[in-house]
Amino acid sequence: MSLFISNAFSVAMLNSTDTCVRFQEITLSKVKELIGGSFVSAVGHQATADVIAMLTGVEVPVNRVSVSLKEGDQLVVFQLLSRLPEGVILTAEEVQKIPHKWYLVTILPDYTLEAVYHW
Looking at the DSSP bridge assignments, the partners of residue 76 are 5, 104
Domain 3-117, CATH homologous superfamily name and number: Uncharacterised protein PF08960, DUF1874 (3.40.50.11170)
How do the domains of the chain map onto residue ranges? 3-117
Instruction: Record the pTM.
Output: 0.84
The answer to whether the Cα torsion of 20, 22, 23, 28 is positive or negative is negative
Model confidence pLDDT, tens digit, residues 22-78 = 999 999 999 999 998 899 999 998 888 998 999 999 999 999 999 999 999 999 999
Rounded to the nearest angstrom, the gap between the alpha carbon of residue 31 and the centroid of all alpha carbons in its chain is: 10
